[in-house]
Amino acid sequence: MKLHKESKGTITVATILFIIISVLAIYFLKMWSLLIIMPLLVVYSLVFWFFRVPERDILEHRENVIAPVDGKVVMIKEVEETEFMKGKAIQVSIFMSPLNVHICRYPVSGKVIYKKYHPGKYLVAWHEKSSTENERTTVAVETATNHQVVFRQIAGYVARRIVFYCNEGDQAKAGHEFGFIKFGSRMDVFLPLDTEIICKIGDITKGGVDVIAKMKD
């Protein structure tokens, strides 16, 4: 199983703790140590599972808006996007549980024209105010169809580290990685009002593969 590059520090710490706790359990509890080691082994395995990098067949897209993450669609509504678009947009929000793949991908192809990191709170990721109050990043892309699309990584109650690798001027390719969020979070995508929304609330998305909307060319 291929692991994400962001896993290195977390797995190192998890391995050290696993070894220390296991050795102490064996020394003090003898045969009863399995009561500690077995549950600990499950948690240790889940850390590796969280950082997995699945193989995905990424296609070329022009009008299609691709699911930026694995997760569940929890919101589709018209909102006021005040940071960059400065107007009304359709917001599609996808919630990621700790068991989902947490690679963040470009939802559209085009050119990165804006990026900004915002420190903030750690409300639960499905809370509506988390989009404006939690730790987050905002990225905007000028698409191949001459639209502006904004997407936002949002830290959740458990997630405490957001990473994004893109810079202004970079070429964005729909479905390709631009960042990572650790341990439970949300992605918001803000689309023009005339965008055809294909997904619906409750849909389970596969990042980089599933089409969630289609923009007019």
The three-state secondary structure class of 49 is helix
Angle between helix axes 34-50 and 7-29 (nearest 10 degrees) is 170
Find the radius of gyration of the CA atoms of the chain.
Answer: 19
> What region does 208 belong to: left with phi over 0, alpha with psi -120 to 50, or beta?
left
Do 73 and 212 contact (CB within 8 A), yes or no? yes
Closest of 120, 158, 118, 121 to residue 138, by C-alpha: 118
185 catalytic per annotation: yes
Assign 43 to helix, strand or coil: helix
Name the catalytic one among 7, 109, 131, 185.
185
Q: Where in the sequence numbering do the catalytic residues fall?
A: 185
